[in-house]
Structure 1
Amino acid sequence: MARERDLRFRVVTRVQRYLANPLTRRLPFHTLVETTGRTSGLPRRTPVGGRRVGRAFWFVSEYGDKSQYVRNIQADPRVRVRVGGRWHHGTAHLMPSDDSRARLRSLPRMNSAAVRLFGTNLLTVRVDLSD
């Protein structure tokens, strides 16, 4: 089981990194989270599926702390989120006690279905927006 999960993680992350994410980042109204690379210090933009609720933006990471952007958030929680074509500054909080599966039911359906299908270590992330 662990071997199958590891193989799924490697295949999906390669497809995302080299095919899906570069294409999706170019779409002007797709939601992105921008973190600061923990070793490079450079901005790293990752497409995510989430929803703004008041002054917070919620999304779920498929691979929890194995995701590079989650590791970047652990090193520096200051992020930017592009929602509806507009950038917002905020502070990200990892929410391991949140019920990620229940959270996915309140987020965009297509992305939530993919996260449930491919995810092996779901982790909710809340970004408190400052502007």
Structure 2
Amino acid sequence: MPRHNERKYPIVTAFQRPFNAVMRRLPTQTLLETTGRTSGLPRRTPLGGRRVGDSFWLVSEFGERSQYVRNIKADPRVRVRLRGRWHHGVAHLLPDDDPIARLRGLPRVNSVGVRAMGAGLLTVRVDLTD
């Protein structure tokens, strides 16, 4: 990872922690719930993405460095809250997918933020089971 990208991570995560704490409480915010790989507790992350059929697509702005991606690697069973309703699913990390091209099909405001603040982007697909 280039040095300037390495500096982005602590700056962006310091900003996101308080912001995400507020966003998690909004009833219409899309959330991804993973199981903490160490604690075993539910971890909820506000994010942007789009449902396409029986799948939910998103791009992780820090790829495998993101905590929720690390949790997915340990246990791919997740839940996604869409429009206030929870859906169970199985997450798949797609390193061979083009995350920049994928962002073009996802909500614009979130995609701009992910491209501007992210480094090491990674596509994630959640196959919804209900």
Alignment TM-score, normalising by the size of structure 2 = 0.97
Q: 1:41-56 counterparts in 2 under 5 A? A: 41-56=40-55
CA distance in 1, matches of 2:7, 2:118: 12
2:101 alignment counterpart: 102
- Deviation readout 1:31-80 (Å, 9 max, x if unpaired): 00000000000000001100000000000000000000000000000000
RMSD: 1.0
2:110 alignment counterpart: 111
1:89 alignment counterpart: 88
- Deviation readout 1:1-46 (Å, 9 max, x if unpaired): 83321221111011112x1100100110110000000000000000
Between the aligned residues of both structures, percent identity stands at: 67
Q: Give the CA deviation at 1:109.
A: 0.5
2:7 alignment counterpart: 7
1:129 alignment counterpart: 128
In structure 2, runs of 5+ residues without a counterpart are: none
Alignment TM-score, normalising by the size of structure 1 = 0.97
Q: 1:69-80 counterparts in 2 under 5 A? A: 69-80=68-79
2:22 alignment counterpart: 23
Deviation >6 Å, runs of 4+: none
Q: How many residue pairs were aligned?
A: 130
SS of residue matched to 1:97: coil
Which AA in structure 2 matches 1:38? R
Which AA in structure 2 matches 1:120? A
CA distance in 2, matches of 1:16, 1:5: 16
1:59 alignment counterpart: 58
